[in-house]
């Protein structure tokens, strides 16, 4: 199959002690690196998982301390959400993914003023709603195009369907000529 383009996997809401290791195992088997947008409360609870994510070559983005909708907060509270997560991570990630994709000019300015950037997604299979592994796979295959940033979840609830879908997503996209890259984040 000729090369069709590069796509990027991203995972939100982790780390989770049940689901994140399974996602990492699948990615390692395929030699794929991804960006994990981590929630600070989970980082604080599971620092060993964050170390594993880094050790295996993945990048980490900030997904706020407690999955707050940043557009409902004032500037100081936005900064506090990001700062607290960064203290738990021990670093300032270059990318922030606002929960729910909710951002506006004010949120963007706070993030930019910190030397960071907003990183959203272009493909959302809505795995967070647990529609079934088959539906997750179909949505991704239907919406993907070169350069796609695919949103999936490794935390925030039961992610068994996401884990079940991930292997199939990878093999089917590779069969279609896609390669997996690591976002500049």
- Residues marked as catalytic: 12, 153
Q: 129 — phi, psi (to 5°)? A: -85, 0
Tokens (6 digits) for 143? 């919406």
Nearest CA to 121 out of 104, 143, 106 is that of 143
Q: Which of 30, 11, 5, 7 is nearest to 149 (CA)?
A: 7
Tallying the residues shown for the chain, one arrives at 185
For residue 25, what are its two tokens?
């195992």
Residue among 122, 73, 125, 127 nearest 101 (CA): 122
């Amino acid at each position: 199959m000729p090369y069709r383009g590069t796509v990027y996997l991203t995972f939100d809401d982790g780390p989770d002690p049940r689901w994140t290791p399974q996602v990492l195992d699948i990615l390692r088997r395929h030699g794929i690196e991804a960006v994990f947008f981590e929630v600070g409360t989970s980082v604080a609870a599971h620092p060993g998982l964050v170390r594993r994510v880094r050790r295996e070559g993945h990048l980490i983005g900030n997904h706020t301390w407690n999955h707050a909708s940043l557009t409902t907060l004032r500037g100081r509270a936005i900064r506090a959400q990001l700062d607290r997560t960064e203290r738990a991570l021990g670093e300032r990630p270059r990318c922030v993914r606002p929960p729910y994709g909710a951002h506006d000019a004010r949120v963007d300015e706070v993030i930019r003023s910190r030397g960071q950037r907003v990183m959203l997604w272009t493909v959302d299979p809505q795995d967070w709603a647990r529609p079934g592994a088959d539906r997750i796979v179909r949505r991704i295959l239907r919406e993907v195009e070169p350069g796609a940033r695919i949103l999936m979840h490794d935390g925030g609830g039961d992610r068994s369907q996401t884990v079940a879908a991930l292997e199939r997503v990878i093999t089917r996209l590779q069969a279609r000529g896609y390669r997996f890259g690591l976002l500049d984040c």
